[in-house]
């Protein structure tokens, strides 16, 4: 046991992940599944050789500077790494990895769920029936927006964006996209490329966000960009809450500029935005885009694969710094 690297898994992961970790590492678990504050991350760092965290743990520049030199690798149980200051961790000599590929389909499924639910007023209808208030019907009752044959814009045509584009093909949607670079014709699959977000938005009766949160994409969907969408558009976000100016989103939803929104992520997590909760034309989920049994196992195993490679002297497959 003493010869095994000491690994700290900061949150409760899948049983299969924790069993494999316990087999191969001197593992420290968190059965209570509590969130650790930055000062606790620093204190714990002197006891371990590796950390397997989630996006709930904040490794900012201050934490990175104060961490023990004993920690050699942070193997994230996530694709997004906006909770990690990569520059500061690199300066500290800490390797950082993530878990791409394995959660693309699950997250794309949630985007499809959000888009359908927002467009067809599913949340509003569910609340009406549950409350026992469904007492009438007419052709004008709960009329929503149809997806079939509409124009869909995708911001960020990476793994998740492409998986989502593939899923919506059965709806006969015309797909437009913005990406930092244009895809190959094979990956593009007849989608229409736009060189800027501003050029993309006027074409989008539906818009789905699939790009990472970076300083450049902070409040990407602000009042100015929301105004470029056609009236009655539907916005979906399964990426990161930081991409959307929530005050501007609320204004657009109240004014009717947007017919609806489907959100799995928020600027404040956990908790969300109480002002959004007051609106009937928002369908919300608590950041569960990758929350399937299959995907949680795959994410945990991918993080452990990166750790295994590192401690055997090989290059981790998903190394970021």
- Is there a domain that residue 194 lies in? yes
Cβ neighbours of 124 (radius 10 Å): 18
Q: Domain span at residue 187?
A: 104-284
What number of H helices and E strands is found in the chain?
13, 12
* 301 and 275 in a common domain: no
CA torsion sign for 142, 143, 145, 148 is: positive
Q: From CA 281, how far away is CA 199, in angstroms rounded?
A: 26
The fraction of the chain above a pLDDT of 90, given in percent, is 99
**Does residue 94 sit in the same domain as residue 115?**
no
Our answer to whether residue 302 is catalytic in this structure is no
Burial of residue 203 (number of CB atoms within 10 Å: 0-12, 13-18, 19+) = middle
CA distances from 299 to 9, 106, 202, 287, 304 (A): 13, 11, 36, 16, 9
Q: Strands, DSSP E only, in 53-173? A: 73-75, 95-97, 151-155
pLDDT bin (cut points 50, 70, 90) of residue 2 is low
Are residues 122 and 58 located together in one domain of the fold?
no
* Spatial distance between the Cα atoms of 302 and 321, rounded to a whole number of angstroms: 17
Residue 22 shares a structural domain with residue 87? yes
Segment 216-235 shows an average pLDDT of 98
Same domain for 169 and 230:
yes
Count of structural domains, the chain: 2
Shared domain for 255 and 298, answered yes or no, is: no
| Predicted pLDDT at 3 | 87
Q: Is residue 187 part of a domain?
A: yes
Angle at 156 between CA 275 and CA 235, to 5 degrees: 30
Both 44 and 138 in one domain: the answer is no
State the Cα–Cα distance between residues 41 and 39, nearest whole angstrom.
Answer: 5
Same domain, 236 and 127: yes
Identify whether 239 is part of a domain. yes
* pLDDT value, residue 1: 43
Catalytic residue among 198, 269, 294, 315: 269
Secondary structure E strands in 217-297: 233-237, 258-263, 282-284
| Tens digit of each residue's pLDDT (9 = 90 or more) over 65-112 | 999 999 999 999 999 999 999 999 999 999 999 999 999 999 999 999
Single out the catalytic residue among 121, 159, 240, 302: 240
In a domain, 321, yes or no: no
Are 89 and 75 spatial neighbours (Cβ–Cβ below 8 Å)? no
Structural domain includes residue 112: yes
The span from the CA of 263 to the CA of 113, in Å, is 10
Provide the mean pLDDT of the chain: 97
d(CA 154, CA 160): 10
CATH code, domain carrying 147 = 3.40.50.720
If you average pLDDT over residues 271-277, what whole number do you get? Answer: 97
- In this prediction the pTM is 0.93
Instruction: Verify that 212 and 67 share a domain, yes or no.
Output: no
Same domain, 120 and 157: yes
Same domain, 277 and 302: no
Dihedral (CA of 9, 11, 15, 17) sign: negative
289 CB neighbour count, 10 Å cutoff: 23
Q: At what angle do helices 104-119 and 293-311 cross, to 10 degrees?
A: 150
Q: Round to whole Å and give the CA distance between 153 and 201.
A: 7
35-56 mean pLDDT: 97
Residue among 162, 287, 296, 302 flagged as catalytic: 287
Q: Does residue 14 belong to any structural domain of this protein?
A: yes
Q: What share of the chain in percent tops pLDDT 70?
A: 99
Determine whether 240 is an active site residue.
yes
147 and 267 in a single domain? The answer is yes
Any domain includes 318: no
Is 147 contained in some domain? yes
Model confidence at 314, pLDDT cuts 50, 70, 90, reads: very high
């Amino acid at each position: 046991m003493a010869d095994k690297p000491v690994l700290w898994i900061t949150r409760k992961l899948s049983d299969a992940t924790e069993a494999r970790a316990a087999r191969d590492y001197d593992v420290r678990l968190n059965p209570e599944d509590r969130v650790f504050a930055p000062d606790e991350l620093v204190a714990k760092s002197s006891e371990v050789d590796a950390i397997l965290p989630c996006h709930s743990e904040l490794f900012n520049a201050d934490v990175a500077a104060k961490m023990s030199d004993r920690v050699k690798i942070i193997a994230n149980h996530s694709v997004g790494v906006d909770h990690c200051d990569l520059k500061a961790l690199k300066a500290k000599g800490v390797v950082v990895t993530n878990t791409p590929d394995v959660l693309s389909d699950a997250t794309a499924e949630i985007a499809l769920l959000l888009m359908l639910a927002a467009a067809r007023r599913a949340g509003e209808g569910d609340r009406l029936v549950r409350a026992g208030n469904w007492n009438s019907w007419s052709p004008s009752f709960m009329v929503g927006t149809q997806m079939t044959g509409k124009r869909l814009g995708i911001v960020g045509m990476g793994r998740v964006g492409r998986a989502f584009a593939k899923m919506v093909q059965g709806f006969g949607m015309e797909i437009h996209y913005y990406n930092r670079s244009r895809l190959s014709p094979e990956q593009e699959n007849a989608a229409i490329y736009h060189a800027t977000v501003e050029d993309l938005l006027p074409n989008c009766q539906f818009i789905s966000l699939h790009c990472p949160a970076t300083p450049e994409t902070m409040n990407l969907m602000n009042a100015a960009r929301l105004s470029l969408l056609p009236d009655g558009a539907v916005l979906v976000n399964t990426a990161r809450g930081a991409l959307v100016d929530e005050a501007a989103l609320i204004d657009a939803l109240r004014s009717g500029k947007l017919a609806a929104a489907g959100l799995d992520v928020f600027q404040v997590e956990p908790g969300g935005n109480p002002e959004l909760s007051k609106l009937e034309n928002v369908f919300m989920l608590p950041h569960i885009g990758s929350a399937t049994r299959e995907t949680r196992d795959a994410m945990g195993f991918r993080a452990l694969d990166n750790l295994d490679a590192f401690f055997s002297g090989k290059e981790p497959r998903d190394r970021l710094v």
